Amino acid sequence: MVRRRASGLVFGLFFSTLASSAAALQQPDNTTIPVIDGSVTTCSDKNVQVCLNAEEGGSTINALSAAAVTPETYTPICGLTFKVIARGAGYLNTFGWYNVVAGQKPPASDLHSFLECTDGPGTVKVLSIKSSPYYQGGEIGFFMATPEGTSGNCPQFAATGGPVAGTVGHIYYSERKYNPDNTGPNSWVHLITYNSVTHPNSFYFAWEDLLSGGDNDFDDLLTRVDGIQCSGGGDPCTVSGQQGKCASGLMQCQNGQLTCVQTWQPTTESCNALDDDCNGQTDDGDLCPPSQICYKGSCVPKCGTTEFQCLGGLKCKDGVCIDPACETVSCNAGEVCVAGKCQGACDGVVCPFGQKCVEGVCSDPCASVKCDADFVCVEGVCKVNCGCDGCPTGKQCTTATGKCEDPGCNGASCAAGTHCVAGACVDDCQGAVCPKGQLCSAGQCVVDADAGAGGSGGSSGDGGIVFGGSGGGSAASGGSGAKDGGAFGGTGNLPGTTPAEDDGGCGCRAAGRDRGAALGALALLGLLASRLRRRR
């Protein structure tokens, strides 16, 4: 099972910054930052690398090459966890957050301290920011307040926000354009950020606290905040140069830049209607026993034996019943042959509730996805649960699932194959238009053994097998083959077969992925039994 993190992590991927080719950061006086004293071996002062190694559990972040001044703003996921890692300054600085309004410097009243001057290294605090009366929704920024220029050594803030008069000298922001010594692009850097490799949805904030200069070790206040994404993080994207499931990605921060990060790694190909090995072909190779063929994610019996015969003028070729009009037709990837012509495998298909059509197969895109805490799977993507993120107008949050549902459905219990709409249980098949040659039963698209002529389908990239009609192709038992036949071929393959009267087997192809195969097989057996009774 693949584990996904919506923010940006994710899914077990290792993002090493040690090999980063990014140029090191420099101050206006050309000092490379952070300055590291290699003789220091503890996380105390002048070696931020030691601190990062201790927090990460190893040298996964290079303090020089991974140093960044972006992102400047962040999106809170749910609760935020703040941790003080080091205080290497004489000043007892304060750390807090503010609401981001594009193009506007945050007013003093919107500066909310959270790590106070008295919080020493190791202090951990949790902020339920979504329930805070001061959170306005949207992005947030962070700040450090110093006492430089005051008579005291403890910057203080009111409980409702804003500095206490006479206690704050300077304030430095994650949006550096608002810093008191900012004069343009080549201004003094007061904050370096690192996105964590070990901790999901987590960033380190390394601060330098003196106005217009300092010792540049960036551990005057070193903190980590968990539960945030860089702005734009977590959105689905397509990974350049990848194929199959490996092309699926999420936008995530890497060294301060949004990057499309691959969320699936190649695995051994299996008969499941996915391109597991990411070679651009779905269910290719010898995946099934010799007497079976891989069709739409399931291993099913082949025609061409004494047990099975094709119907309606179709003929058996390479284990499947084909429409002669499609026998020599070659379709592009993602298409199937219908009545001698190529069309999209999902054209005209409306899948049952909660499912999505991919390459001619209706299936639940969340069936093999496991999300992190505070996230739920929606259409195959891990998103922040509604308890944290709220719901759009006309929907309400169901606490048990973390998903937005129709009003009146909170806590409603519906039988399998149904779902709740406006407080009533509705058939998952309502409004569904399954791939041709299939019908919707108990919320699943399954084989229609009485499908007659016409119909399209597809379990693989170039072709599909269609019941009782024309469709694009699949051939060998493993689901592979040349373009004139085979799972990627585009020949019109239709398993519109019937068993001989003295046999009880099934030559038709059960639709769906592994999780739907049993249901499809049961429905198909019932239909075949009915057919046999009529024939007798």
32 backbone dihedrals φ, ψ, rounded to 5°: -75, 135
Contact assessment for residue 500 and residue 306, using Cβ atoms and an 8 Å cutoff: yes
Tell me how far the alpha carbon of residue 460 is from its chain's centroid: 23
Contact assessment for residue 283 and residue 272, using Cβ atoms and an 8 Å cutoff: yes
Q: DSSP string spanning 161-189? A: SSBPTTS--EEEESSGGGSTT--STTPPP
Q: Where are the domains of the chain?
A: 16-230, 292-352+431-535, 366-427
Alpha-carbon gap, residue 72 to 449, rounded angstroms: 59
Contact assessment for residue 248 and residue 90, using Cβ atoms and an 8 Å cutoff: no
Q: Which two tokens stand for residue 370?
A: 């496991």
Q: DSSP string spanning 208-255? A: --STT-----S-SEEEEEEEEEETTTT-EEE-TT--GGGGEEEEEEET
Q: Most distant CA pair in the chain: distance in Å?
A: 102
Alpha-carbon gap, residue 148 to 475, rounded angstroms: 77
- Report cis status (omega within 30 of 0) of the bond before 71: yes
First to last CA, the chain: 47
With residues binned 3-state (H G I as helix, E B as strand, rest as coil), the percentages for the chain, rounded to 5, are 10, 30, 60
pTM score of the predicted model: 0.62
Beta bridge partners of 499: 308
Alpha-carbon gap, residue 79 to 64, rounded angstroms: 30
User: Who's near 324: CB < 8 A, 6+ residues apart?
Assistant: 313, 314, 315, 492
User: Who's near 36: CB < 8 A, 6+ residues apart?
Assistant: 46, 47, 48, 49, 63, 64, 217
Q: Which two tokens stand for residue 291?
A: 């007497």
Rg (CA), the chain: 30
Alpha-carbon gap, residue 341 to 191, rounded angstroms: 61
DSSP code, position 352: P
Which one, of 442, 429, 420, lies nearest residue 353 by Cα? 429
Tens place of pLDDT per residue across the chain (536 aa): 444 444 333 333 333 333 333 468 999 999 999 999 999 999 989 999 999 999 999 999 999 999 999 999 999 988 899 999 999 999 999 999 999 999 999 999 999 999 999 999 999 999 999 889 999 989 999 999 999 999 999 999 999 999 999 999 999 999 999 999 999 889 999 999 999 999 988 999 999 999 998 999 999 999 999 999 887 767 788 899 998 878 888 787 776 677 888 877 888 998 877 788 999 888 888 898 888 888 767 777 787 766 666 777 777 877 777 788 888 888 886 787 878 888 888 899 999 999 998 778 888 888 767 777 778 888 877 778 888 878 888 888 888 888 888 888 876 788 999 998 888 999 999 999 998 778 999 999 987 766 543 333 333 333 333 333 333 333 333 333 333 333 323 333 334 444 443 333 333 333 333 434 433 433 333 433 333 333 44
Contact assessment for residue 402 and residue 382, using Cβ atoms and an 8 Å cutoff: no
170 backbone dihedrals φ, ψ, rounded to 5°: -135, 155
377 backbone dihedrals φ, ψ, rounded to 5°: -85, 125
Q: Around Cβ 252, how many Cβ atoms within 10 Å?
A: 28
Among all chains, which residue has been given the structure tokens 């308890």? Answer: 387
Among all chains, which residue has been given the structure tokens 């194929």? Answer: 243
